[in-house]
Structure 1
Amino acid sequence: MSVWEKMLKKQSLDKYLAKDKQFVKSMNAFDLMSLGIGAVIGTGIFILPGTVAALKAGPAIVLSFVVAAIVCSIAAMCYAEFSSAMPIAGSAYSYGNVVFGEFTGWVLGWALILEYMLAVAAVSTGFSAYLSSFLQGFGLEIPKIFSGPFDPAHGTYLNLFAVLIVWLITWMLSHGMKESVRINNVMVIVKITIIVIFLLVGAFYVKPANWHPFLPFGVKGIFKGASTVFFAYLGFDAVSSSAAEVKNPQRNMPIGIIGTLIVATILYILVSAVLTGMVSYKDLNVANPVTYALQKVGQNWVAGIISIGALAGMFTMMITMIYSSSRLVYSIGRDGLLPKFLGQLQSKTHLPQHSLILVTIIISILGGLIPLDELTNLVNIGTLIAFTFISIGIIPLRRHKEIKNTGFKVPLSPVLPIISAIFCIGLMAILPAETWIASLIWFAIGLLIYFTYGIHHENIS
């Protein structure tokens, strides 16, 4: 078989289903929504509505979230159809292997590895900063050498809390999905409760005059705001990684993915409306606009609670992304494109422990030792590449003779999937040049691994 034929070789869905049947099917629709909301609603809900309102949209930020949600929902529906038609581990990587072929699947998998691991590493450093600040309020201070990435010139050698929180989550996930999902559900409820407290308290201080003018930046401001807040919704795609561990996936996967977007949109819109009603949008270009607004109206006690909500938000995001990363690496190892031990499930727990440990080691190095400020935009480009292929992939999915999808289907296909792909390509085009350069380096490394190892060890047939 030639190299070209190997690159185009497609995996059989039946073989994937057979390989993944060892997973324990323990999750329902509520668990999936909790994983999705855990990934999507993080610290951004306490920051993004304020800064985008101040700089781009004004009070019309609520419409920016609506526009972004509409566009994002199309990609979400594409993911929902794929996960319903193919309830297998690996998300876009596995879908790409079945519909497009081995090489496209590898590219998508490599893009998602970038998205998931870098996202967790970046959030772990944010968690560390919030936790350190929170402890300082009680007079506890971590030694400086353990407070940042490896930078001897500035006296820091390891971001200790960033490493510890990642390993704590890994320890939790290694004890089974049922227990992990239960803890995640509790943390999501805590996070949503804190958001609701802000909404209830803040509503008493809303002054309708602050909503005028509603469109200070014009209609263009709505769309400029939408292009920014679109990235606030990223993370729902990670839910599809769990398809092999879900009860009745044809029903529950679409509910989990689309339900995540609905709940996230409602919360973003409500927070935006209350925040811009409490204080003028002009005053919200600060590091933590929600806390600022609460302090301005004399509600310092709620501002303190917001810090707990931020910690809970980051914790649940890391749970979802570490979980998804391990399933993704397991799926690639399952196909031999990475060392096969990564594609093994532990006989006792039926969990991919090897891939989970590898993922955790990599994230620990990134979050604990390396400054990530310039790399976080790479999360966005990895996601958008996957969104583009999944959107377009609906067309060959419908034509695939072996796949009979009796579950959810994207309406108005192929029009909506094509619109979704065009929008994702447009968003990629506006990302900074340095993001493109860094991503090209990342994909060059991926191609090197594929052509020197993966293509010679794959067992896709």
Structure 2
Amino acid sequence: MASLWKALSRRKKFEGDSHLDTNLRRCLGLLDITFLALGQMMGAGIYVLTGTVVRNQAGPSIVFSFMLAGAAALLSAFSYAEFGASFKPRFPRAGSAYTYTYIGFGELWAFIVGWTVPLEYMIGNAAVARSWSAYFDNLLDNYVRNTTIGLFGEMGARGGFFSTYPDIMSFILICLCSCVIAIGSKVSANVNTSFVVLNIVVIIIVIVSGLSYADITNWTGTTADGLHSNFLPFGTTGTLTGAATCFFSYIGFEVLASAGEEVKSPHRTIPIATFLSIGIIMTLYILVSSTLTLMIPYDQ
């Protein structure tokens, strides 16, 4: 048992004179790494979660939900930024939470964390790809959905756990993204930066145009039962529940640490990029959710 425990708890040790030694090319600067984190975080919060959390959990108080979730993410980011610095005994290595757990707690816990990291990215990317596919199909009046069902038939009951049809478009989208990533870190970073800029432009257009339709009574009025305000239709509990769900939208900032071996001056770049990306994304989430809930009653 002692030998087994020793094997499971053995910790990672890095060889070499410098913690900056790596076989990878350090080609990513502050802008690249900041936009990398923004690209990973931007999808789920705005395009997937906001409408659901507003309608079912928090109402317009989703503004506070995003603030609370952002504060929690920032506290986690402090840990990543600390480990990502290059001064001993910190480790600017690829692997993110897996590497840090391997260093601090041992192989068993690192093995468990190592499998949860790809699971986290898989769920996040699948959710965004599925949402993108649904939005695009709506623009085509559900042509893709109807055509796919016509070819393959329905796979399950409507409203069930699984989709009623195979989402070929989401599959193709993820394959295309994988090909871009496989080309190389600098190329994929440039592609990511382009899409993040496009995303931010679209979001700004939505905010500016949406606020022209703002109706403050969507926040200041009372619910149908007269027991709660429109801003807190589900009470404080709903706001806290929404914050727990909204934390999912901040998943992705740890990609900064995962790319630690490809970053120039990681001791400076990783901490700054971490705080910049979380600050920017929190601001965008708050502005978008405020605009949405001022435009449309929360229950719609």
TM-score (norm 1): 0.55
Q: Is 1:82 aligned to 2:83, yes or no?
A: yes
Task: Give the direction of change, closer, same or farther, for the CA distance of 1:65–1:90 in structure 2 (3 Å limit).
Answer: same
Q: Percent identity?
A: 35
Distance 1:198 1:251 in 2: 34
Task: Give the direction of change, closer, same or farther, for the CA distance of 1:53–1:119 in structure 2 (3 Å limit).
Answer: closer
Q: Secondary structure in 1 aligned to 2:254?
A: helix
Q: Is 1:281 aligned to 2:286, yes or no?
A: no
Task: Give the direction of change, closer, same or farther, for the CA distance of 1:122–1:267 in structure 2 (3 Å limit).
Answer: closer
Matches within 5 A, 1:40-119: 40-84=41-85, 85-119=90-124
Deviations 1:179-233 (A, max 9, x none): 1111110100101111100000011111222211333333333222212212221
Which one-letter code corresponds to 1:166 in the other structure? I
Q: Give unmatched runs, 5+ long, in structure 1.
A: 284-461
Deviations 1:103-145 (A, max 9, x none): 12111101212222343344434444344444x3697788426
Distance 1:168 1:67 in 2: 34
Q: Is 1:160 aligned to 2:168, yes or no?
A: yes
| Residue in 1 that maps onto 2:247 | 230
Structure that is richer in helix per residue: 1
Deviations 1:344-380 (A, max 9, x none): xxxxxxxxxxxxxxxxxxxxxxxxxxxxxxxxxxxxx
Given the alignment, which residue of 274, 280, 289 partners 1:257? 274
Which one-letter code corresponds to 1:204 in the other structure? S
Distance 2:31 2:66 in 1: 24
Report the alpha carbon displacement of residue 34 of structure 1 after superposing the two structures with TM: 0.9
Q: Secondary structure in 1 aligned to 2:25?
A: coil
Given the alignment, which residue of 172, 197, 217 partners 1:209? 217
Given the alignment, which residue of 176, 183, 190 partners 1:182? 190
Distance 1:262 1:77 in 2: 13
| Residue in 2 that maps onto 1:36 | 37
Q: Give unmatched runs, 5+ long, in structure 2.
A: 159-163, 221-228
Distance 1:129 1:36 in 2: 24
Aligned residues of 1:59 and 1:215 also touching (Cα < 8 A): yes
Matches within 5 A, 1:58-457: 58-84=59-85, 85-134=90-139, 136=140, 143-144=147-148, 151=155, 159-212=167-220, 213=229, 214-283=231-300
Task: Give the direction of change, closer, same or farther, for the CA distance of 1:149–1:229 in structure 2 (3 Å limit).
Answer: farther
Higher RCO (Cα < 8 Å, 6 or more apart)? 2
Report the alpha carbon displacement of residue 83 of structure 1 after superposing the two structures with TM: 1.6
Aligned residues: 282
Distance 1:35 1:146 in 2: 39
Which one-letter code corresponds to 2:211 in the other structure? A
Report the alpha carbon displacement of residue 150 of structure 1 after superposing the two structures with TM: 9.5
Which one-letter code corresponds to 1:117 in the other structure? M
Report the alpha carbon displacement of residue 265 of structure 1 after superposing the two structures with TM: 0.7
Q: Secondary structure in 2 aligned to 1:2?
A: helix
TM-score (norm 2): 0.82
| Residue in 2 that maps onto 1:396 | none
Distance 1:16 1:150 in 2: 60
Task: Give the direction of change, closer, same or farther, for the CA distance of 1:164–1:15 in structure 2 (3 Å limit).
Answer: farther
Aligned residues of 1:211 and 1:277 also touching (Cα < 8 A): yes
Q: Which deviates the most, 81-90 or 185-194?
A: 81-90
Distance 1:162 1:34 in 2: 23
Distance 1:218 1:8 in 2: 45
Distance 1:125 1:147 in 2: 20
Report the alpha carbon displacement of residue 162 of structure 1 after superposing the two structures with TM: 2.8
Q: How large is the Cα RMSD of the aligned pairs?
A: 3.2
Distance 1:131 1:109 in 2: 34
Which one-letter code corresponds to 1:73 in the other structure? L
